[in-house]
Chains A and B, each alone.
Chain A
Amino acid sequence: MKKSAALDALVRHRTDEVVVTSMSVVRPWGRLSRHPLDFASADSAMGHTADFALGIALARPDRRVICLNGDGSMLMTLGTLVTAAGVGAHNLVLVVVNNGTYEITGNQPLPGGPGLDFAGMARASGFPVAVGFDDADRFEAALPELLRAPGPVLVDLRIEPEDEGPIQRRPDEAADYLQVSLETSARRLREALDALSP
């Protein structure tokens, strides 16, 4: 499956969820979406996107949080699968964009090789819903239910490696959410969520 096909499907079904992106998804998502609840976990720490998204989900149980995480990033904090299930993060949808490589540093292969079963890891960690897709149409058909299901939910998207390069935050970046600092982005999301408080 092409990354763009999966993200196009998600854009069509996303409504008022927080979307946190990382690594090779940051720019592609930023090209498709300009939403006050979009957040790029870029120019940040290695592998700490899923746990950051989990924190938002715990803070705002009234709102779904979708985390578009890299497979390499997920491997760095696999313990977060256990943490998210343990605290019952019912509103977290953790999507692993699984291309088997560290794409933004040049597609070096991940430890363990291709085909890591992130859905299996999530189920073993206690996720009530954990599914994998290698076809964008099937992913899109399942999305309405995945975005409603009591979670945490893990979606393992098996996509083809592409050539997304390193990410920087700078004023001339095409994606709006990369044009300001991480600190400014964090404060903007905090303010946007505060304005939407129940």
Chain B
Amino acid sequence: MSNHNHDAHAHHGDHDHHEDDTPHGSLYDYVVGFVLSVILTAIPFWLVMGKVIDDKTVLSLILLGIGAVQIVVHMVYFLHMSPKSQGGWNLMALIFTLVLVVITMAGSMWVMYHLHSNMMPMPVNMNSMP
């Protein structure tokens, strides 16, 4: 197994980089990622616990936006995602998964929302409908 790490660099061709070539960050990367995460975690908690914004829709959108940014921060600084890792396969798999996740989430919410808006409020004049 240990041989694999050394003789199987098919697309690198040279052996003079890392001993094990999984991408890893420096201390700087981890600290930057951590500081950004703390800020991006503190802001949404402060917004909700301090009742800073009254409009619930705006607040929800801000929370989702900050959450998305923080996920990207984690991906880059902690999971060391880059377009080059594993020859691009990591990113390809991630994009494919994200497409499926968006279809699942948005699709379920959309379909179920329509189902509810068509079924739940039981119009009073239902009997008069054809």
Please say whether chains A and B are actual partners in one complex: no
Q: Report which B residues bind A (CB closer than 8 A).
A: none
